[in-house]
Amino acid sequence: MRTIILGGGIMGLCTAWALHRAGQPVTLYEQGPLPNPLGSSVDQHRLIRYAYGPMTGYARMVQAAYQAWQRLWQDLGVCHYQETGMLAVARTDGSWVEASEASMAALGLEAERLAPAAIAKHFPFLDLAGARAALWSPSGGVLFAERIVADLADHLRQAGVAIETECTVQSLDPAAASVVLADGRHDQADALVVAAGPWTPRLLPSLAGRVTPSRQVVAYLEPPAEHLQAWRQAPMLLDQVEAAKGGFYAVPPVGGTGLKVGDHGFTLRGQPDQERDATAAEIEALLAAARGRIVGFEGYRVSRGQTCFYSVAQGERFIVEPIGGRSWVLAGFSGHGFKFGAVLGEAVAAALTGNRAPGELTAWAAGELAAG
Ligand SMILES: Cc1cc2nc3c(=O)[nH]c(=O)nc-3n(C[C@H](O)[C@H](O)[C@H](O)COP(=O)(O)OP(=O)(O)OC[C@H]3O[C@@H](n4cnc5c(N)ncnc54)[C@H](O)[C@@H]3O)c2cc1C
């Protein structure tokens, strides 16, 4: 059974990896280079954590996600993950932290409420004045996203998987599992997997009402010398996350990467291949959020701001669905999909080879099932 995969982000590459492991031939088309800096998967880091507020299905999926990453590290011969732990802070509405605490307890994971004095002692570089609640956990950490994408693409090429870069799919037919390429070639296989990130609505207009590209801005900061070591040992910070509203986050500078801040709040505007430079106003809005959370923020240097695109779906629930009888679409990862790349690739490969029920997979990927 040969499968065409459209897209060389984490979802397409991981599906190719899992199909290849299952002995199935694959051809992957990517419109840019690999890694593609315009894709959603390409930046220094992506976070993986169990804290998921009321979305308990995803909290449970994280356990399976870690196991799948482990299998990928074995194949790559290198681990691209560093555990940092997590600090989740609530400033006004504490319900996301409370729900996370409950679901982590149900999963048997260590998580501890910290009092303001303890926070100030452990994390003196954070300004948590007025915080209502803080939850610390030793679990969770940083996936080195760009290194994963680059090494996985190299690994697949060396294993003989057909990967065509700079090769745009112009149109597709899910029922025939076929594509037409920009250079005029046609390709048809037994199955087609569409993993086109924020380009999905253009290729599959039927999903245009369900998946919205969303331009997001992140900034890399250089801490002052006196705080650098503390940041290198810091947990990831999730600050005032609220269901459907987003929240500020900081990724510590581990494993040779930079300190990054961002805001999970969706803009729901923009296109992934247009005007990709972050504007001064966009960066300033993000820095304003950082300023009130980081002690002595005027001592930090902003090394760069950049844009990246989410593909937002209703309720932040992933769309992993069969289409046209012979094809699958993986879309709507709503800014939290990377951590599940390996496990979702395995799951789709299992469905394509008849080893997983499509309906169950779709519900599980939407965060609705306990097992998986
Ligand atoms: C700023 C930011 C922070 C994030 N933080 C986290 C986090 O901390 N934790 C987490 O789990 N997730 C996070 N995410 C989300 C995560 O990165 C995405 O969910 C994930 O990378 C989506 O992968 P993908 O393969 O679906 O999409 P992409 O990586 O965008 O891949 C799609 C690929 O398809 C290609 N393509 C599109 N159209 C065509 C075509 N016509 N022909 C050929 N190729 C085509 C594109 O070039 C692209 O390379 C974050 C995302 C962003 C933007």
Tokens of 181: 């390429």
Amino acid identity for residue 326 in this structure: R
Q: Is the backbone peptide bond immediately before 25 cis, with ω within 30 degrees of 0? A: no
Tokens of 78: 């290198």
pTM of the predicted protein model? 0.97
Atom of ligand 1 nearest to the CA of 42: 29
Q: Which of 39, 65, 41, 86 is nearest to 241 (CA)?
A: 86
Check if 318 has its Cβ closer than 6 Å to any atom of ligand 1: no
Does the pLDDT of residue 244 top 70, yes or no? no
**Chain region(s) in the chain for CATH 3.30.9.10:** 85-140+212-313
What residue owns the CA closest to ligand 1's atom 35?
7
Does the pLDDT of residue 120 top 90, yes or no? no
**Chain region(s) in the chain for CATH 3.50.50.60:** 3-45+146-210+315-365
* Strands 3-6 vs 26-29: parallel, antiparallel or unpaired: parallel
Looking at domain 3-45+146-210+315-365, its CATH superfamily turns out to be: FAD/NAD(P)-binding domain (3.50.50.60)
At 369 the pLDDT is 73
Check if 196 has its Cβ closer than 6 Å to any atom of ligand 1: yes
Ligand 1 centroid distance, CA of 78 (Å): 22
Does the pLDDT of residue 372 top 50, yes or no? no
pLDDT (mean) for 278-304: 95
pLDDT (mean) for 292-310: 96
What residue owns the CA closest to ligand 1's atom 15?
335
CA distance 108 to 120: 27
CA distance 369 to 367: 6
Tokens of 291: 């300023």
Which helix (H) or strand (E) segment holds residue 186: the answer is strand 186-188
At 319 the pLDDT is 98
Ligand 1 centroid distance, CA of 366 (Å): 17
Phi-psi region of 268 (alpha: psi -120 to 50; beta: other; left: phi over 0): left
What residue owns the CA closest to ligand 1's atom 41?
169
What residue owns the CA closest to ligand 1's atom 26?
197
pLDDT (mean) for 307-326: 96
At 242 the pLDDT is 73
At 177 the pLDDT is 98
The model's confidence at residue 241, banded by pLDDT at 50, 70 and 90, is confident
- The DSSP letter of residue 129 is T
Mutation probe of ligand 1 site: the residue of 167, 248, 338 with most atoms within 8 A of C-beta: 338
Ligand 1 centroid distance, CA of 14 (Å): 12
At 243 the pLDDT is 66
Check if 201 has its Cβ closer than 6 Å to any atom of ligand 1: no
Average model confidence (pLDDT) across the chain: 95
CA distance 81 to 78: 9
From residue 298, give the alpha-carbon distance in Å to each of 221, 222, 288.
Answer: 11, 11, 11
Does the pLDDT of residue 143 top 50, yes or no? yes
CA distance 33 to 42: 11
Q: How many CB atoms lie within 10 A of CB 254?
A: 21
Residues 6+ apart with CB under 8 A from 356: 347, 350
Ligand 1 centroid distance, CA of 39 (Å): 5
Least confident of 165-179, 197-211, 221-235, 239-253: 239-253
Does the pLDDT of residue 33 top 70, yes or no? yes
More confident residue, 309 or 116: 309
What residue owns the CA closest to ligand 1's atom 3?
335
Sign of CA dihedral 141, 106, 336, 347: positive
Ligand 1 centroid distance, CA of 128 (Å): 32
What residue owns the CA closest to ligand 1's atom 19?
337
| Model confidence pLDDT, tens digit, residues 258-275 | 999 999 999 999 999 999
Looking at domain 85-140+212-313, its CATH superfamily turns out to be: D-Amino Acid Oxidase, subunit A, domain 2 (3.30.9.10)
At 371 the pLDDT is 46
The model's confidence at residue 119, banded by pLDDT at 50, 70 and 90, is confident
CA distance 11 to 340: 9
CB 332 within 8 A of CB 311: yes
Check if 267 has its Cβ closer than 6 Å to any atom of ligand 1: no
pLDDT (mean) for 215-219: 98
- The DSSP letter of residue 279 is P
Does the pLDDT of residue 223 top 60, yes or no? yes
340 burial class (0-12, 13-18, 19+ CB within 10 angstroms)? buried
Ligand 1 centroid distance, CA of 351 (Å): 22
